[in-house]
């Protein structure tokens, strides 16, 4: 039966088992969209293929070349050095008030690392940053690490953890020590030697606790007022279309991420909010109706602009979040700026002329959930291709199952531009379109 526009299936688990046998052990589940364009909307597999069959290598190369010219970065994007900290003199204090905090602004090439967060056996940005910081820890901490048989490393707090493949132009992290002989230049040189050409420190600034109240006023993550992400989506080398035969759910030997496109419901509520392809005539329309093969960048821009100036729960656009963060305020984000435009991506190869047609998306919010940017962009593209209404993204906020949104777009197109500690100013944005 239908309730609030969602198809309710009381015996969902039994249906899943029956569909599993019909699909050679695989279950392909579609969210039951009820709007007029539901049959022209890409399925999760179709959306995934559309996203990943793009010349992402050229985007990766572009980010790599951009990272190697930090002077241009600081000219094009306002500096993070304008951190708003309380400049209030305090009386001399001991203990933690005597330690020195360093703010480190760095850029790195996402394709060279397995993300920011340190993980055993993986080449992560945090791991490379913290190793050289071990040279600057105080004796007390060094002794504690030695007693616990841990490596001599520093501890870096970060403004936002990036996933594998995501580039950062002005990532912000901090490190503190009780030593008074540590110089900013020493930290910069030490980290830059860790991975030349892949990771580069742009600036290091020092904040003495005896002069600035930064013990609680500044934390790279908690003190940030906004984050800016930029996404580059290739519109292909030609007309921005893909072969229509590739849009079907064929059993090809493609390197598809089954975890992204074939996940199971997380709870009973999600389980009851899906429809299965089990031979139903209406469901088979997903495969019979001709699906769109391209989308309008202007339409994506219109969809995204509906999010500006609103505080909304983006839990339907998050992935891999804990149950405790799936409801309530932790899922709410305020979107300052959300725009899209088309552009040409220049080549840095002197033997190659012209450029790659791309769509650029700029998103600025007070915070972002895990994989939220990539899911939001992929869903906006899917809705634009289907010809959905301009408020389609807003309506999806009320969905009860994350299958209502598209699988995350590839991480190679995403870049953390900068993090702001002052009030957001829209005039500093990179994409400023006029009118809807």
Give the catalytic positions in this structure: 163
Closest CA to 134 of 146, 124, 122: 146
Query: From CA 148, how far away is CA 21, in angstroms rounded?
Result: 52
Helices (H), 105-254: 125-133, 139-147, 184-192
Query: From CA 246, how far away is CA 293, in angstroms rounded?
Result: 10
Query: From CA 371, how far away is CA 320, in angstroms rounded?
Result: 8
Q: How many CB atoms lie within 10 A of CB 252?
A: 9
Q: Kindly list the distances between the CA atom of residue 353 and the CA atoms of 24, 235, 243, 358, in Å, as whole numbers in the listed order.
A: 47, 17, 26, 16
SS3 76: helix
Cβ pair 180, 98 in contact under 8 A: no
Buried b / exposed e across 258-276, counting CB within 10 Å, b at 16+? Answer: eebbbbebeeeebbbbbbb
Q: Which two tokens stand for residue 147?
A: 């007693």
Cβ pair 191, 106 in contact under 8 A: yes
Largest distance between two CA atoms of the chain = 77
- Which residues contact residue 356 at a Cβ distance below 8 angstroms, ignoring those fewer than 6 apart? 55, 58, 59, 234, 235, 237, 344, 345, 347
SS3 362: strand
The 3-class secondary structure across 254-288, one letter per residue, is CCCCHHHHCCCCCCHHHHCCEEECCCCCCCCHHHH
């Amino acid at each position: 039966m239908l309730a609030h526009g969602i198809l309710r299936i009381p015996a969902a688990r039994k249906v899943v088992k029956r569909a599993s046998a019909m699909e050679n052990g695989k279950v392909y589940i579609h969210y039951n969209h009820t709007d007029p364009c539901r049959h022209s909307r890409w399925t999760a597999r179709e959306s995934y293929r559309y996203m990943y069959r793009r010349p992402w290598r050229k985007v990766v190369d572009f980010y790599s070349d951009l990272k190697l010219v930090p002077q241009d970065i600081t000219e094009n994007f306002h500096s993070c050095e304008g951190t708003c900290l309380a400049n209030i003199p305090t009386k001399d204090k001991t203990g933690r008030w005597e330690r020195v905090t360093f703010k480190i602004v760095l850029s790195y090439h996402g394709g060279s690392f397995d993300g920011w967060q340190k993980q055993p056996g993986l080449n992560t940005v945090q791991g490379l940053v913290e190793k050289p910081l071990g040279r600057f820890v105080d004796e007390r901490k060094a002794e504690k690490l030695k007693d616990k048989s841990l490596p001599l490393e520093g501890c870096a707090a970060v403004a936002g953890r990036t996933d594998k493949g995501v580039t950062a132009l002005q990532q912000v992290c901090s490190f503190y020590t009780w030593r008074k002989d540590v110089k900013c230049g020493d930290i910069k040189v030490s980290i830059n030697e860790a991975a030349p050409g892949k990771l580069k420190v742009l600036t290091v600034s020092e904040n003495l606790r005896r002069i600035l109240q930064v013990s609680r006023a500044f934390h790279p993550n908690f003190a940030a007022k906004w984050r800016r992400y930029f996404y580059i989506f290739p519109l292909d080398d030609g007309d921005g279309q893909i072969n229509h035969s590739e849009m079907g759910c064929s059993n090809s030997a493609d390197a598809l991420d089954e975890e992204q496109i074939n996940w199971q419901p997380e709870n009973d509520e999600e389980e009851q909010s899906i429809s299965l392809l089990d031979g139903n005539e209406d469901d088979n329309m997903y495969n019979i109706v001709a699906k769109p093969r391209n989308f309008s960048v202007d339409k994506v821009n219109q969809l995204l602009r509906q999010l500006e100036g609103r505080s909304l729960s983006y839990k339907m656009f998050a992935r891999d979040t804990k149950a405790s963060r799936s409801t309530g305020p932790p899922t709410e984000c305020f979107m300052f700026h959300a725009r899209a435009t088309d552009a040409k991506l220049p080549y840095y190869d002197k033997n190659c002329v012209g450029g790659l047609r791309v769509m650029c998306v700029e998103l600025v919010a007070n915070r972002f959930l895990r994989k939220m940017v990539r899911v939001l962009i992929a869903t906006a593209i899917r809705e634009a291709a289907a010809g959905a209404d301009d408020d389609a993204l807003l309506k999806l906020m009320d969905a009860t199952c994350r299958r209502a949104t598209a699988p995350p777009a590839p991480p190679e197109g995403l870049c953390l531009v900068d993090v702001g500690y002052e009030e957001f100013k829209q005039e500093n944005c990179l994409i400023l379109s006029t009118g809807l």
